Structure 1
Amino acid sequence: MTPSNRTSASRHAAKTTILFTVLGVALIASILVSAGTGQLGVPPQEVLGSLLHRIGIDWLPMPSHPAGDQTLWAIRFPRVSMAALVGAGLAVSGLLMQAIFGNPLAEPGVIGISSGAAVGAGLAIVFGLTIFGEWTTAILAFIFGLGATLIVYAMSRADGKTEVVTLVLTGIAVNAIGGAGIALLTFLGDTQSREQIVFWQLGSLAGSRWSQVLIIAPIIAIGLLAAYIAAHKLDLLALGERNARHLGVNVEALRITMIFVVALLVGASVAFAGIISFVGLVIPHLMRMVLGPAHLPLVTASALGGALLLTLADLAARTLVPMADMPIGMLTALVGGPFFFWLLRRTRKRSGGWG
């Protein structure tokens, strides 16, 4: 390795370390502030004191309010944990989608996987399906989300390549069909079912419980582990399908495996939090702009960035309007929509037009 290459590598390593540190510290700070914010306010040092007390460390004061500790562990911490897990899962799923489709415009919400998963969850709600016990909603969301992804993948392939325009247009069609399915289920359901379906469409973390966190946490962990394992192969895939095959990568097997991983991550997230768009588009692209194309550090950065974004979005959803809980999916769309518009124009300009 030449001196210039060593210098470049050390600079990149330093940049990566700084980014991870900033994201990690910001995530911890956002968790402490979010957990302490609400009708019953708890200062960050008392929130941290409550956390440390649970592991036997009594360095900081416990919540001074008599109901403070109970409020944190029964209501706040489950919701904040769900926000961090769902944000990490959606961001990494977006990174994987962009890797396997080979373009920065791919995102679970844009290409229809979220609406497909919501239809599966809606079926479980309206018809009271319990064939998989407490996992029924999540499993049906996974199956329908996977089906939507496979349709988009098959329709966007032409001459061994994935076409960006076809990808986006097929995603629009799948979203339209998913929207029609959700509307039909809303029509067929009773009042309680309709309220739950509205939850899926708007996205919300209200009512998150530890039992839900314990279900989604291992799913997100499995998805992240699979992304780490596949990172090197995704780097090779970025060189082009032909080059990747010459280097020993089974491209189609890799794509199918990653599609299953994405469907697992998004299906679980949608099952418990509803449709939350654009997290998987904004975060991976921003991290790639800072770190470059290598997927191993991108998985970590995207997970941290996604967790941070959704934790802050959930905090905003609870505090922007007094005595109200705004839909978190609406807030992420307000941020992600303009970003997607900018990214679309930037990609079109770089390619010299779509024609």
Structure 2
Amino acid sequence: MPLIVLAGFGILFVSLSFAVSVGAVSVPLRTVWGVLSNQMGLGLITPDWSSGREAIIWDIRFPRALLAAIVGAGLAVVGASLQAVTRNPLADPHLLGISSGGGFGAILALLHTGLFIGLLTVPLMAFLGALAATAAVLAVARFAGASSADRLVLTGVAVSFVIMAAANLLIFLGDPRAAHTVVFWMLGGLGLAQWSHLIYPLMVLLPCAIWLWSRAADLNAMTIGDETATSLGIPVVAFRRSVFVIGALVTGVMVAFSGMIGFVGLMIPHIVRAIVGGDYARVLPCSAIAGAIFLLWADIIARRVMAPEDMPIGIVTGLIGGVFFVALLRRQI
């Protein structure tokens, strides 16, 4: 396990370096880390680059790469946790409608309510939307008697369609001059990343991920079944509700800063479990690292395919995730 985590951090470091280096203007890796060391006051490398190149690296690419890592880690951890408490290998914030709820909340704030509490308005509304979508999925599943894993996913997809229809209605009723801004949240993107904004998703992700990791034994028990978990003294209903609320919080905030990015929470936990096994004490931290690496490379692809234009990152993850989803369905059958 320590060697796997160490290797993961090594790959993450290389991926982060490469993500900052590539773009419409390629930058040597030596310059990338020279700028970083100088910004941190270390002064390890004598500056031999222009101020414009330093601005590209420090003000644009580093925040974008770090946001990709944070969002990827958050979505992967949420996906792994949801798969445990639902005993559903297909559970994912996107498929269960949580991302759609977060997008609806963000669109409502941007086009209709306005930033009534400043920069925190969009993350707050995205969280409330994600939480409402989670409650709706659980309520519809209970009403329809959709207790099986497959039917829960179908319920989430159905609720997601309804929420997206409502979001499209908000766009239609909103100011046409501002409607183009919500395309970012509909398709996913990291182009609006700023240093001042990174603290918000990080402040949400760290305590939530630590709490989930501290409950790794409970998550392991939930994967076996409710009866086994109850026999071990776990309040199953309350614990499942807590994980859903945590998932809604993390997903809502990630959606607020990156838009709706699908399939990260579906793919990464399966890949990680194939490498480290099913113990959630290992699955959660490794999923966070792998999710960060995956989204960094997805963003690199999004920036390179249509350079100098940025392809929405949600398109890249959707294409990869769709193929993975079909392969997973075939394996489950």
The interval holding the TM-score normalised by the smaller chain is over 0.9
- 8 Å contact 1:117–1:143 — kept in the other structure? yes
- Largest Rg, 1 or 2: 1
Correspondence for 2:285 among 291, 296, 300: 300
5 Å-filtered alignment, 1:1-355, equals: 16-60=1-45, 62=47, 64-157=49-142, 162-347=147-332, 349=333
- 8 Å contact 2:36–2:58 — kept in the other structure? no
Cα offset, 1:278, TM superposition: 0.1
Per-residue displacement from partner, 1:151-204 (whole Å, max 9, x unpaired)?
223433599994112112111211110121121011111234311221111101
- What is the TM-score when the length of structure 2 is the normalising length? 0.94
Cα offset, 1:61, TM superposition: 5.1
Cα offset, 1:322, TM superposition: 2.1
Which segments of structure 1 move beyond 6 Å, counting only runs of 4 or more?
A: 158-161
Whole-angstrom CA distance in 2 between matches of 1:129 and 1:73? 30
- 8 Å contact 1:318–1:325 — kept in the other structure? yes
Whole-angstrom CA distance in 1 between matches of 2:205 and 2:76? 11
Whole-angstrom CA distance in 1 between matches of 2:22 and 2:50? 14
Whole-angstrom CA distance in 1 between matches of 2:204 and 2:313? 22
Whole-angstrom CA distance in 1 between matches of 2:48 and 2:325? 42
- 8 Å contact 2:88–2:150 — kept in the other structure? no
Cα offset, 1:315, TM superposition: 1.1
Whole-angstrom CA distance in 1 between matches of 2:197 and 2:44? 30
- 8 Å contact 2:264–2:321 — kept in the other structure? yes
Whole-angstrom CA distance in 2 between matches of 1:165 and 1:54? 50
Cα offset, 1:239, TM superposition: 2.5
* Two-structure CA RMSD over aligned residues (Å): 1.9
Whole-angstrom CA distance in 2 between matches of 1:67 and 1:93? 38
- What is the TM-score when the length of structure 1 is the normalising length? 0.89
Per-residue displacement from partner, 1:61-108 (whole Å, max 9, x unpaired)?
546234222221111111111111111111111011101111111001
Q: Evaluate the alpha carbon distance shift between residue 63 and residue 333 of structure 1 in structure 2; reply closer, same or farther with a 3 A threshold.
A: farther
Q: Evaluate the alpha carbon distance shift between residue 243 and residue 326 of structure 1 in structure 2; reply closer, same or farther with a 3 A threshold.
A: same
Cα offset, 1:18, TM superposition: 3.5
Q: Of the two structures, which has the highest relative contact order with CA contacts closer than 8 Å and spacing of 6 or more?
A: 2
Corresponding residue SS for 1:326: coil
Q: Evaluate the alpha carbon distance shift between residue 128 and residue 150 of structure 1 in structure 2; reply closer, same or farther with a 3 A threshold.
A: closer
Q: Percent identity?
A: 37
Q: Evaluate the alpha carbon distance shift between residue 118 and residue 59 of structure 1 in structure 2; reply closer, same or farther with a 3 A threshold.
A: same
Whole-angstrom CA distance in 2 between matches of 1:88 and 1:229? 17
- 8 Å contact 1:45–1:61 — kept in the other structure? no
Gaps of 5+ in 2: none
- 8 Å contact 1:63–1:69 — kept in the other structure? no
- 8 Å contact 2:23–2:308 — kept in the other structure? no
Per-residue displacement from partner, 1:39-69 (whole Å, max 9, x unpaired)?
3322112212222333343434546234222
Corresponding residue SS for 1:67: helix
Gaps of 5+ in 1: 1-15, 350-355
- 8 Å contact 1:155–1:166 — kept in the other structure? no
Cα offset, 1:291, TM superposition: 1.3
